[in-house]
Structure 1
Amino acid sequence: MAGLSAAVSAAAFLAAALFISPPIPRSFVLSERNFDLLLIFILVLATATIAIGAIYNFRLVAFTRIYDYRDMMDSPKALNYLVTIVTGALLPFAFAGFVARGAWWGACAAVVLLLLFYPVTLSKLPLFAPVWLGALLVLSAIFRARTAVVLSLFLPILCGVALHVAFKSPSALYFSTINFRMIAVPSNAMDIYNDFFARHDLTWFCQISALKQIMSCPYQEPLWILMEKAYNLGNLNASLFATEGIASVGPLWAPLSAFACGLVIALGSRMADGLPHGFVLMSGAVIPLVLLNVPLSIVLVTHGAAILFLLWYITPRSMFRQGSEPNASRAS
């Protein structure tokens, strides 16, 4: 049942996300001058967020030891929201925007600011995001957008397998970070959630904070804490397929939930309509990585995906028609 549910959920999600594409009227678009000012504002906001965050937490440690210190970090909830929105949506958007405008100083500034979030958050995301953005920039300059997307998943996995075969132990860090943590763990999370909720009450979406205030919920703790207590595998968040699907409605109705989530992604796609695919690929580069491990409801609000959709909507298409965005004519 779990395997069949996962396969149908994937098909339902893709059907909604890829093939439902009603046009959305665009009633407001920034001027190119205001777009440039928006990019500068994002850099200023990111700088201020780093400065404030450093007041509460600042540690320079190897990323292999971040879990030794991360539980000791304490910041205001509003600041935590701002950090995840800036790193997940705003700075990647600014990077893509500066590249589109040919302002390489701004693109470099966005990358540096992303790196500076690492000692403030002790998260792997801001540490590896600059490399990820650079790789997507190179791939989108060489290949068409669809090929670049496939290669962005295939090449890191291939490198991990090749390094493991060739060097064994010396490759363990790369393999555990990319092949295991980025790819295998999100998949394993579906097995774990299926096992847990086969024997426990479903959430019926009460894990969403706003809904928890108006409906009774069998769980007062976040799901990742429940998973840690039940399986002792660390703080295990999971994707929309596990959380909005398996945990919320069970495997029988999970495909319907996945279809609804696909409609949300389709809405974001429609709001990016008319933008070069290379620009969308780079500006949204971090969101797919987050979606592997975090429920869609949290990605939309906490990680800024909804804000990113809005930014796509108001981005002026005229600047791309002038040919200022590299590889714009090759997007497909």
Structure 2
Amino acid sequence: MSSESNDVPNHSPDEAGTRRNEGLGPVFLLYLHIAVCFVSMAYVAQYYAPLMRLTIPDSDRLWLAALNVAPFALLSILFAVCRFSFGYLIGFYFFTMLMGYLWLLPLSTFSYDHTLAYASAFASGLAFLLPAMLISLPVGQRFALSEAGFRRLLTSVLAFSVVLLGIGALHNVRVVGISEIYNFRNQLEFPAWLQYGLGVTSNVLLPFAFAFFVVERARWRAAFCLLLLLMFYPITLSKLALFAPVWLIILTAVTQFFTARIAVTLSLLVPILFGVLLARLFDMNAISYQQFIAYFSLVNFRMVALTSSALDFYNDFFAHHDLTWFCQVNILKSFIDCPYREPLAIAMQKAYDVGNFNASLFATEGIASVGVVLAPLTAFICGLVVAVGNSASSALPARFILLSAGVLPQIFLNVSLTITFVTNGAALLFLLWYLTPSSLFGEQA
């Protein structure tokens, strides 16, 4: 398989020409993304400094933030030279998150060792990105489904989703606005099996079925998947369930015109850039504060900056508290002595009064579990785990991989690797990729 065969749009009339033109990735877009993230973080610090425990940035601190980010930003070369893979997708979102943390570090008011934390974050990012983006060993499909069996599987996914929604509706159905979901979500009580089923179905099974229907141009079935996804919102009161259909539609449109690598860059660049433009319009009194903050708080702050800020909070907390040594994993908590009988998100809420503060693998499997010194080692192991997804999907088209995993980047940014793989179904997606017959995609594979 050519080194670029996974990064060519399925509609390209001149595959060889496209490969020649895409020898390097979206270099200019990567530069623009780094610059836009810098400006976005400056606005975030301006409006959310007290909540994020930051000092208001002045010109000197902004220069220091730029110097902090510059060496790590050089890792963007990986996204210019590497072929598209699942690790490329997840790696780009983690690259953005870590870049944000290194930016805000000079503004942090916490008293932990910032120099050690900087070195740990830099090394952890590199340790994760190298295996996640460079390792993609093709595996023989000894147990691949037949084409007929695969289609029956997708039909079963749709039927299972309908049944699961019906069972979930027996426990909760509540249509509320986004601003009100936190008033009711803590009251939700689902059986453990149903909670797992709702998470796996909305995060993996339906996006997986949607991706295939899009590639196969089965528009009505694809639309039905989106409708089912949307119906998870009044049951789970999850923002991800509410926005997942819109997000998948956007990814579908973008991948129709751009290669997968460019689509990944645009998937973060465009939303962040729009928030920056709104902030600038508010500075010019062209729009009201409510018109600006409604979008900016949801995307630039909560979706992006808050995931970076989590590393700051976790670094401070575990600089003064016992490490978990992975006892936050429920199955291990029963066998080893753990200083935290409650989830880490609750412990962080009690310590900082910032709400339930879940965080990515860099904070949980890294900082919280083994500390900043050993965090790069766990990041490397997590990168190897993600590389398994590269191998499982190596025979599949880039567009199918991107769409079927389209919901997972936000999950990776906000919860640990263990929860992402078990509760949210990433491990199941790897299995589905492995079982998918590449013959269904013809020359696209």
| 1:69 maps to amino acid | F
In structure 2, the residue corresponding to 1:48 is in which secondary structure?
helix
| 1:275 maps to amino acid | L
Aligned partner of 1:201 in structure 2 is 322
Aligned partner of 1:30 in structure 2 is 145
Q: Does 1:219 align with 2:340?
A: yes
| 1:95 maps to amino acid | F
The whole-number CA distance in structure 1 between the counterparts of 2:375 and 2:396 is 32
Q: Does 1:90 align with 2:205?
A: yes
The whole-number CA distance in structure 1 between the counterparts of 2:353 and 2:387 is 36
Which runs of structure 2 are paired with 1:228-307 in the superposition (5 Å)?
Answer: 228-307=349-428
| 2:280 maps to amino acid | V
Counterpart selection for 2:228 from 98, 103, 113: 113
CA contact (8 A) 1:39 1:98 kept: no
In structure 2, the residue corresponding to 1:163 is in which secondary structure?
helix
The whole-number CA distance in structure 2 between the counterparts of 1:200 and 1:26 is 47
CA contact (8 A) 2:348 2:356 kept: yes
In structure 1, the residue corresponding to 2:340 is in which secondary structure?
coil
The whole-number CA distance in structure 1 between the counterparts of 2:119 and 2:288 is 35
| 2:199 maps to amino acid | T
Q: Judge which range, 63-72 or 255-264, deviates more.
A: 63-72
CA contact (8 A) 1:275 1:317 kept: yes
Aligned partner of 1:56 in structure 2 is 171
| 1:180 maps to amino acid | F
The whole-number CA distance in structure 1 between the counterparts of 2:158 and 2:276 is 37
CA contact (8 A) 2:135 2:390 kept: no
Alpha-carbon displacement from aligned partner over 1:58-79 (angstroms, at most 9, x marks no partner): 1011111111111111111111
Q: Judge which range, 73-82 or 196-205, deviates more.
A: 73-82
The whole-number CA distance in structure 2 between the counterparts of 1:19 and 1:62 is 42
Using the TM superposition, give the Cα deviation of residue 4 of structure 1 relative to its aligned residue in structure 2, in angstroms. Answer: 1.1
Counterpart selection for 2:129 from 10, 14, 20: 14
In structure 1, the residue corresponding to 2:414 is in which secondary structure?
coil
In structure 2, the residue corresponding to 1:230 is in which secondary structure?
helix
The whole-number CA distance in structure 2 between the counterparts of 1:23 and 1:312 is 12
| Count of residue correspondences | 324
The whole-number CA distance in structure 2 between the counterparts of 1:68 and 1:220 is 25
| 2:160 maps to amino acid | L
Using the TM superposition, give the Cα deviation of residue 82 of structure 1 relative to its aligned residue in structure 2, in angstroms. Answer: 0.4
In structure 1, the residue corresponding to 2:317 is in which secondary structure?
helix
CA contact (8 A) 2:128 2:381 kept: yes
Q: Does 1:74 align with 2:196?
A: no
Using the TM superposition, give the Cα deviation of residue 168 of structure 1 relative to its aligned residue in structure 2, in angstroms. Answer: 4.7
Using the TM superposition, give the Cα deviation of residue 25 of structure 1 relative to its aligned residue in structure 2, in angstroms. Answer: 2.5
Q: Judge which range, 113-122 or 17-26, deviates more.
A: 17-26
TM-score normalised per structure 1: 0.96
| 1:47 maps to amino acid | V
TM-score normalised per structure 2: 0.72
In structure 1, the residue corresponding to 2:339 is in which secondary structure?
coil
Using the TM superposition, give the Cα deviation of residue 33 of structure 1 relative to its aligned residue in structure 2, in angstroms. Answer: 1.5
The whole-number CA distance in structure 1 between the counterparts of 2:156 and 2:215 is 17
CA contact (8 A) 1:193 1:242 kept: yes
Aligned partner of 2:308 in structure 1 is 187
The whole-number CA distance in structure 2 between the counterparts of 1:15 and 1:311 is 25
The whole-number CA distance in structure 2 between the counterparts of 1:124 and 1:93 is 19
Q: Judge which range, 109-118 or 24-33, deviates more.
A: 24-33
Using the TM superposition, give the Cα deviation of residue 39 of structure 1 relative to its aligned residue in structure 2, in angstroms. Answer: 1.1
The whole-number CA distance in structure 2 between the counterparts of 1:101 and 1:29 is 19
**% identical aligned pairs:** 52
Using the TM superposition, give the Cα deviation of residue 101 of structure 1 relative to its aligned residue in structure 2, in angstroms. Answer: 2.1
| 1:127 maps to amino acid | L
CA contact (8 A) 1:197 1:247 kept: yes
Q: Judge which range, 51-60 or 162-171, deviates more.
A: 162-171
Alpha-carbon displacement from aligned partner over 1:173-198 (angstroms, at most 9, x marks no partner): 11111111000111000000000000
| 2:314 maps to amino acid | Y
Aligned partner of 2:268 in structure 1 is 153
Q: Decide which structure has the larger Cα Rg and report it.
A: 2
Unaligned 5+ runs, structure 2:
1-115, 282-286
In structure 1, the residue corresponding to 2:186 is in which secondary structure?
helix
In structure 2, the residue corresponding to 1:292 is in which secondary structure?
helix
Using the TM superposition, give the Cα deviation of residue 277 of structure 1 relative to its aligned residue in structure 2, in angstroms. Answer: 0.5
Q: Does 1:308 align with 2:429?
A: yes
The whole-number CA distance in structure 1 between the counterparts of 2:209 and 2:440 is 15
Using the TM superposition, give the Cα deviation of residue 235 of structure 1 relative to its aligned residue in structure 2, in angstroms. Answer: 0.4
Alpha-carbon displacement from aligned partner over 1:71-106 (angstroms, at most 9, x marks no partner): 111111111110000011111001001112221111
Alpha-carbon displacement from aligned partner over 1:28-49 (angstroms, at most 9, x marks no partner): 1111111111111111111111
CA contact (8 A) 1:13 1:260 kept: yes
The whole-number CA distance in structure 2 between the counterparts of 1:69 and 1:127 is 16
In structure 2, the residue corresponding to 1:217 is in which secondary structure?
coil
Segments of 4+ moved more than 3 angstroms: none
| 1:181 maps to amino acid | R
Using the TM superposition, give the Cα deviation of residue 23 of structure 1 relative to its aligned residue in structure 2, in angstroms. Answer: 3.2
